[in-house]
Amino acid sequence: MSSLDDHCGGGPSLQIGPYRRDSTVIVAPMAGVTDRPFRDLVRSFGAEWLVSEMVTSDPALWGTRKSLNRMRFIDEGEPRWVQIAGGDAQMLAHAAQVNIGLGAQIIDINMGCPAKKVCNKAAGSALLRDERLVAEILDAVVGAAGAVPVTLKIRTGWSREQRNAERVARIAESAGVALLTVHGRTREDRFAGPVDYDAIGRVKAAVSIPVIANGDITDSATAQRVLALTECDGVMVGRAVNGRPWLIRQLTEVLAGKKITPEPNSGEIKQVLIAHITGLAQFYGEDSGVRIARKHVGWYLREQQVPRDFLKGFNTLTGLAAQVEAINQMPSHESVAA
């Protein structure tokens, strides 16, 4: 069972199964982003709750390099929260057991991804169109997971005409799901248009399990407003943390009524960048790590007053040493305040 409360005067806390932390801020699973190096880095800034990249439930794909990398989490910080995706109840149940065997301590089921390649396989948010299948999947995975808590991530529905998040939430509660995250858009909306926080609030009111609000939470003011509006038990932050791994710590501090740690200065950001790209090269191998680093560096520099030509030149570099040297030589400007 999961719960949120204030304990020991330390501010709000969240509990999922046996795992309890003094934070109600969760890093969202993002394909191609929340890999092991990224999770390690965000943890170094005090993040307590992080969900892995989506792992396919199809055993035929587990031998691919992408899946092998996504299923390497046995020695990382706790709790190890792993998201699985698919459209077949028994395959998802088996995937849950396999990932638990590899060290997963919380299993999250993806019913929120709007990507065509996922929805075309009747997975992700496509599942919301079939509530009977939703129930079958949740019953199977919760049963297979045993003592390991199972969480669920959804959207408000398939389309604006087919919104059923409250019904799906009740199905999840009945199945024994420990926590529910709701992105306040439909699959049809993808990531465009306003987030329907009122709809998230209705889901929260419909069930007694913890509900987490997700969608366009980019700063402390938004996080506070969303929690006040929805009365949810926490927030999940996605794209806003790209290039700002310290954001989760700042949000946690705000929600706990503590003084916010200042944004890092340009010199500190350089050291964070170097640590991140070095971790990518070590995890993926230098050739792949160097290529993956380019998008992350772009996100960091998006927040900084760095000439565009620098990033253009950086993206032509082919070795880690050259990338590190470029970052060390990067023009120094103080970070733009959030």
> Which positions are annotated as active-site residues?
113
> Do residues 30 and 239 touch, judged by C-beta distance below 8 A?
yes
Give the up-direction half-sphere exposure of residue 41: CA atoms within 13 A in the CB hemisphere.
26
Which residue carries 């620098």 as its tokens? 310
248 φ, ψ (degrees, to nearest 5): -60, -40
